[in-house]
Structure 1
């Protein structure tokens, strides 16, 4: 079996407050790019996991990571040999580990079906995992685990992901949030929510990692109709009306910032 772990982006991310359990109350618009990490699996006497790819070195403990935990979270009968090609940067706001776990859930669904409580099992692995299992545009509330369908009028939109090759862990960014509730995420179709929404973690992320502002400025200097940071950073994305605009932007940034990582694709 093979499965793509689709890159997750937050078209909007409104932080509404700190919860007593230490998490934050969120309203977010999840979307997914048609590219990402790649996983393959085949039957074996016991579970094994091997990793390779550009960002495999960012996984400190391959046997204790979220893929291994996802394998343990679901009944499958015998074991699997799993190979993970890590093509997404780690600690980048793209839900890379959560997307990998989501891909495992989809492979289990294909071969054995998922248990009725799969969403709860996914949520125990991470707040983004339930959305990453579905890998379709949706609204997340609570900590991001409560999912609501949404009319997606941006499906197929060209998208460019750019990361300055700086890892940025989620915890410090949320901790640096100023605690101000700037209002609810707007309603309507996906394009409206994206254009009228915001990412409340941009400012604290830039305070910790100033190069994010450079990435956003570079993307906003192209023909995009929206450029924003994803999640807690440091990856930013830009959306375009057509492929020609995307290709021109990708080439422009590759020349001006050759060290930055890029991935181009379309919204699912």
Structure 2
């Protein structure tokens, strides 16, 4: 069953395909359906959801009569309006992050590069608090939201595969100066997380030299072969060429990273050093 974000994405892609397959312009379809052109454009862009009744009429116009195909598309339309757990956090979070989490909830694989701090999905509550904006009145709600994300993703029966690549400097840069215990707790949590069957946590060492990851953090969410989205600089990108390019960057970073066992050894080593200081 699709969720609201991915359901809407799949539906809009299929509606565009059906229209183009029949060599119809948006102007012609809008006129035949007695809709404004802007309504059709917004439906195809995914900025508004299409009602079930409007979808039935549109599919009839596109000559889609196979009951199974119609039912599948109607279910996508219903999914686009389904309320999810993250809806209660909309007042305190950017709209783009809410959309991202909708994609994340249905991803089969998550690939993340983090050169500055531990990825949000790996953070302890203390670390998340320490890296949140202390001036924000909504800081506690945002931390609660991220803890809920972790729980919803990794405590379900079919968690996504998670690849997290960290720069070695992340292990040695605590969010609170002088609070080594906070960083030790985060590292030990990462050691536990790295040994779960669906995770691949690797460290890119300081001596790895120049690499494309110097341009900043990013995340790739995958839903199947050649289907994914890129999240970078708090923006979502769906263009296949761009997603593919960043998949290549993630692969090259993986080649520069330590092995699984060497990563665990380094994490334990750094935690031990911090405990002795």
**Which TM-score tier does this pair reach, normalised by the shorter chain?**
under 0.3
TM-score by length of 2: 0.23
TM-score (norm 1): 0.23
Which gives a bigger RCO, structure 1 or 2 (Cα 8 Å, sep 6+)?
A: 1
Kindly indicate which of the two structures has a greater share of residues assigned to helix: 2
